Structure 1
Amino acid sequence: MEVVIAPAGRLAVLAANAIEALLRRKPDAVLGLATGSSPLRVYDELARRHVEAGLSFAQARGFMLDEYVDLPTDHHERYRNVIEREIASRVEWAPEQVSGPDGGADDLPAACEAYERAIAAAGGVDLQLLGVGTDGHIGFNEPGSSLASRTRIKTLTHQTRADNARFFGGDVDLVPRHCVTQGLGTIMAARHLVLLATGKQKAEAVHQLVEGPVSAMWPASVMQLHPHATVLVDDAAASRLQLGDYYRQTYADKPSWQGL
């Protein structure tokens, strides 16, 4: 696992660099798309590069991490709409090239199985963007999730709903109680994981993710077992890291030709 500590704006550039390098090398790459606050600057940077440098998403595929259950299709915070608004429409990504779990399906377990098959049929995810919750969840894999889990229905914790209330006018009662999410096993099948975290409120989760034991109590800690995981954090999110100085040193001494 590589840990990079830098200002938030620089982190977004680094993540965008990795995605651009992948798309230039493999135009039909499969990208894993996250929502929430963490990837927004990355999407801004990718949109800028699309406009100013011709970065193309025309052949690429995108798969979303998760979706709320039973939000109306036109709801502003339905994740399919968020992804369309924040990245897909800005880079002229055809709607049929971007897929998400069907949170409105009549048969949710069947929809989850179909989503797993769709990811496999596309060849698997090449690069998965991630954020981390204050309780250590990635995707919507709440504490206690199986480290081998696949796409499935989950009940959201009160903490996660409270954290997400800001997207629903601050009213936690408006945040759905259920979601469909890629499982930890699904996420771990991606070839490169890139997680971004900023702010003091993420410090304990980042500490457990990077330096704690691998445990279902901190689901993101499963990333320690991944052969190519990159954790991008600002100083505040890195404030609980015991080896913070070492991570800064190793990144400063990294060969200039080596990407993430």
Structure 2
Amino acid sequence: MQITEVKNYDEMSKKASEIIMKRIQDLPKPVLGLATGSTPEGMYKELVQVYVDGKISFSNTTTYNLDEYIGLPREDKNSYRFYMNDRLFSHVDISKEQTNVPNGMAKDLKEECNDYEESIKKSGGIDVQVLGIGVNGHIGFNEPGTSFQTATHVVNLAPSTIQANARFFESEKDVPKQAITMGIQSIMKSKEILLLISGAKKADAVYQLLHGEVSEVFPASILQQHPNVHLIADEAALSKVKENGMRSLR
């Protein structure tokens, strides 16, 4: 695991955008796995700017988002489709047909999950997957206890995840209780993983990620076994690791 320490959130966002920009420039038909939430917002802002500056084009890029709430229409301001349109897609030259977000309103959710997996496969697989990490170690919406062998599936959200996401809704009771998420097996098939972590509240999670055992109790721990993970974390997120001596896992 390659670890890059940056000073703060803004530096993390800029570094991440530079890596994504290079992949878009270098690959003929890049396939990006994208994430939502507060962590990647700065990265998307940077990517929009480099597009405006004429440094990249998204016209040959295909994207797959990690997850989507069940029960929220795509027009809902709290849906992840709305988030992606608002933060990135509507501001760059990417066709909406090349952007993929699970359909949380699908009548047959199991079929939607299977179709999503098949679409990723047909695209040639994800070249670089952007990830954040939850305080409980979840990646995507794969909560503690999720099998490492899962493909895209329906998940019941943990109370801690619902609570963490409540800030985006009027109240905690408005947060959906289920979501569709890429499975851990799906994530691990990505050729490269770009893991972004910022803030002191994630310091314990970063420590466990780097120094803990690989266990389904802490889903992100499986990333120790991926051959190409680049962790970009700020000083606050790495504070506990640095207290005990930084190490890079191979």
Identify the TM-score tier after normalising by the shorter chain.
over 0.9
- Give 1:210's aligned residue: 210
**TM-fit CA distance, 1:242:** 5.2
One-letter identity of the residue aligned with 1:201: K
- Give 2:152's aligned residue: 151
Alpha-carbon distance change, 244 to 24 in structure 1, aligned in 2, over 3 angstroms: farther
- Residues 220-242 of structure 1: CA distance to partner in whole angstroms, max 9, x if unpaired? 11100000001111111112215
Q: Where do 1:70-219 residues align within 5 Å?
A: 70-169=71-170, 171-219=171-219
Alpha carbons 2:73, 2:104 under 8 Å: kept: no
- Give 2:14's aligned residue: 13
**TM-fit CA distance, 1:21:** 1.1
When the two structures are superposed, what TM-score results if normalisation uses the length of structure 1?
Answer: 0.92
- Give 1:225's aligned residue: 225
**TM-fit CA distance, 1:10:** 1.6
Q: Which runs of 5+ in 2 are unaligned?
A: none
**TM-fit CA distance, 1:246:** 3.8
SS in structure 2 of the partner of residue 240 of structure 1: helix
1:54 & 1:15 partners in 2: Cα distance?
15
**TM-fit CA distance, 1:11:** 1.4
One-letter identity of the residue aligned with 1:42: M
Alpha-carbon distance change, 156 to 78 in structure 1, aligned in 2, over 3 angstroms: same
Which piece of structure 1 moves more, 174-183 or 17-26?
17-26
One-letter identity of the residue aligned with 1:142: E
1:27 & 1:82 partners in 2: Cα distance?
27
**TM-fit CA distance, 1:209:** 1.3
One-letter identity of the residue aligned with 1:141: N
One-letter identity of the residue aligned with 2:173: D
SS in structure 2 of the partner of residue 221 of structure 1: helix
2:243 & 2:60 partners in 1: Cα distance?
40
- Residues 89-122 of structure 1: CA distance to partner in whole angstroms, max 9, x if unpaired? 1112211010111111111011100000000000
Percent identity reads: 38
When the two structures are superposed, what TM-score results if normalisation uses the length of structure 2?
Answer: 0.95
- Residues 153-211 of structure 1: CA distance to partner in whole angstroms, max 9, x if unpaired? 00001100000000003x11000000000000000000000011111111111111122
SS in structure 2 of the partner of residue 132 of structure 1: coil
Alpha carbons 2:74, 2:80 under 8 Å: kept: no
- Give 1:51's aligned residue: 52
**TM-fit CA distance, 1:20:** 1.1
Q: Which runs of 5+ in 1 are unaligned?
A: 251-260
One-letter identity of the residue aligned with 2:161: T
Structure 1 segments, 4+ long, off by >4 Å, are: 242-245
2:244 & 2:62 partners in 1: Cα distance?
35
How many aligned positions are there? 247
- Residues 133-170 of structure 1: CA distance to partner in whole angstroms, max 9, x if unpaired? 1111000000001111110000001100000000003x
